[in-house]
Amino acid sequence: MQYNKILAVIEADSSQQKSLSRALEIARMNQASITAFLCIYDFSYEMTTMLSMDERENMRQAVVDDKTDWLKNLVAKTIGREFIDINVKIVWHNRPYESIIREVLENGYDLIVKGTQHHDTLESVIFTPTDWHIMRKAPVPVLLVKEHDWPIGGKIIAAINAGANDADHLSLNEQVTKHANSFGSLLASDVHLVNAYPSTPLNIVMTIPDFDPVTHQETVKEHHKLSLQTHGKEYQISTEFCHVAMGLPEDVIPGYASKLDAELVVLGTVGRQGISAALIGNTAEHVIDKLNCDVLAIKPDGFISPIKLS
């Protein structure tokens, strides 16, 4: 996988630009170009009815120019004397996620990098609505940056659904593993495969006579274990780096990420939209919420963003 063109999403009210720092790390290893992208909007400028359309536009442009100068200075301080191709782009838009995805669609980026917000009081990461919208609707991989360092020789987790046998999930497993291996090569890190398998449903135990839950559970575990190892062998991943555990993915994957002190978890997300997203949610999103390391969210092949260019 090549990340030749990176969109680093800048947070105007943040003192730490984690997305820019992480994008620079990737660019150094991959000779990629970066666009530092900032979306700004102030509703009060739209409500100044006493001014003409041209006057309101001039006021907006003055804000954009001011933020452009600020961002150029920020980039200059961040890279110092290092020569890296970084462009700066400021847009005025009332939906940040939409402006980000439109920028990707218009200019063909390979990767979106965005920082997450740390909530000191709760000692956890807070994901904004913009984060969730980007993960669900962006047509390219989205790297959500937290506080964890990226050491050379660290560990990367590819979250795999080894029990699936349908074409869509198998294809997504391949994409997740390829991206994990790509970052593993960039960072000289070991790639680990992690898979969660379900426990035996209680209603089956209660309704089927002579049902042996222990034997059934061992059979399920062995199936997932062999499937995961077969998948790993295809991508030159050692069996000792293939991990299966009973439980929900949102518990198993963060558990292994903590145990291995992983710097990155790569997982697939189906990009569910509308009412189903609000009511059902997405397994990947539940996993992401519990991770304390960076997350790379991958869409399945053929995914089409609901954001359209006019």
Cβ neighbours of 168 (radius 10 Å): 13
Residues 138, 155 within the same domain? no
- The pLDDT value given to residue 63: 86
Say what the pLDDT of residue 43 is.
72
Q: Name, in order, each residue with C-beta under 8 angstroms of 5's C-beta and a sequence gap of 6 or more.
A: 32, 33, 35, 107, 108, 109, 110, 111
Task: Say what the pLDDT of residue 309 is.
Answer: 84
pTM of the model: 0.87
- The answer to whether residues 155 and 228 belong to one domain is yes
Specify whether 103 is located in the same domain as 215: no
Mean pLDDT by 10 residues, the chain (310 residues): 90 81 88 92 69 78 89 86 84 92 95 78 61 89 88 92 82 93 92 88 58 73 92 95 93 94 90 47 73 89 85
Same domain, 59 and 129: yes
Asked if residue 141 and residue 159 are part of one domain, the reply reads no
Look at the chain and report how many structural domains it folds into: 2
Residue 276: predicted pLDDT: 44
Number of helices (H), then strands (E), belonging to the chain: the values are 11, 12
Whether 58 and 183 map to the same domain: the answer is: no
Q: Are residue 196 and residue 183 in the same domain, yes or no?
A: yes
Containing structural domain, residue 283:
148-310
Indicate if 99 and 142 belong to the same structural domain. yes
Same domain, 201 and 139: no
Residue listed under structure tokens 């917000």:
117
State how far the Cα of 92 lies from the Cα of 167, in Å rounded to an integer: 41
User: How do strand 264-268 and strand 294-298 relate by DSSP bridges?
Assistant: parallel
Are 154 and 125 in the same domain? no
